[in-house]
A and B are shown apart, each in its own frame.
Chain A
Amino acid sequence: EVQLVLSGAEAKKPGESLRISCKGSGYSFTNSWINWVRQMPGKGLEWMGRIDPRDSYTNYSPAFQGHVTISADTSISTAYLQWRSLRASDTAMYYCARQGNNYESFYDHWGQGTLVTVSS
């Protein structure tokens, strides 16, 4: 069974750094792109970016480029989403999602979500 398991909820202060993780299991981790999606409280879904775990090639949405970093460690089948300096506006639920195939960026499996709260 394919599973994506995210790290737990985080409460941080503005300006702090943070890395959340997404561990894949039940499939070959290097065979599928991992995408990150943000959902702000009560709002819709926003694509942040993605990584090909085979070579760590990344694509970012311009809305998030430069503010977050996506990485992966294939030795532990884990993808990461990282911030160097959090803002209050980063408060949201974050999902990782696996692409259905390498050519079409729709998502057939999703992690359960990680809630990030940024408040002074």
Chain B
Amino acid sequence: DIQMTQSPSSLSASMGDRVTITCRASQGISSSLAWYQQKPGKAPKLLLYAASRLQSGVPSRFTGSGSGTDYTLTISSLQPEDFATYYCQQYYSFPLTFGGGTKVEIK
């Protein structure tokens, strides 16, 4: 199985801050990576896929980058609605696996 390691597991940030979350795969996944946002009591929401492609309707302040084993999600200017938990997911090989999540909290 491909292990997905997210860091940090949590962070505190202020509105307007630039936030970066990292996801490292235990082997190369050829950009077969998605990012999701989950708010308490809600289903996850797709933000990006193919490492850097923005899902329709998602604000452009969310960007993704990376290749091989290392990927990042960046929020350019944190907004109130962005406080949530973020998960990466590899879909390069089965079983599909998620990172452990990064909780973004208000400082």
Name A's B-contacting residues (CB within 8 A).
35, 44-47, 59, 61-63, 95, 97, 100, 104-108, 110-113
Contacts and interface: CB of A to CB of B under 8 A. Distances in A.
Lowest 10 CB-CB distances: which A-B pairs, in order?
A106-B34, A110-B43, A61-B95, A105-B91, A47-B96, A45-B98, A106-B49, A44-B101, A44-B100, A108-B46
B43 A105 contact: no
A105 B46 CA distance: 12
A62 B55 contact: no
B44 interface: yes
Contacts, number: 55
Contacts of B61: none
Nearest to B33: A106
A108 B55 CA distance: 8
Contacts of B34: 106-107
Contacts of A62: 1, 95
Interface of B: 1, 32, 34, 36, 38, 43-46, 49-50, 55, 87, 89, 91, 94-101
Q: Pick from A35, A44, A59 the residue with the most CB of B within 10 Å.
A: A44
Contacts of B45: 110
B59 to A, nearest CB: 17
Given A45-B38, A62-B1, 14 more contacts: A44-B101, A45-B87, A47-B95, A47-B96, A61-B95, A62-B95, A63-B95, A95-B43, A106-B49, A106-B89, A107-B36, A107-B46, A112-B43, A113-B43
Contacts of B46: 100, 106-108
Contacts of A47: 89, 95-98
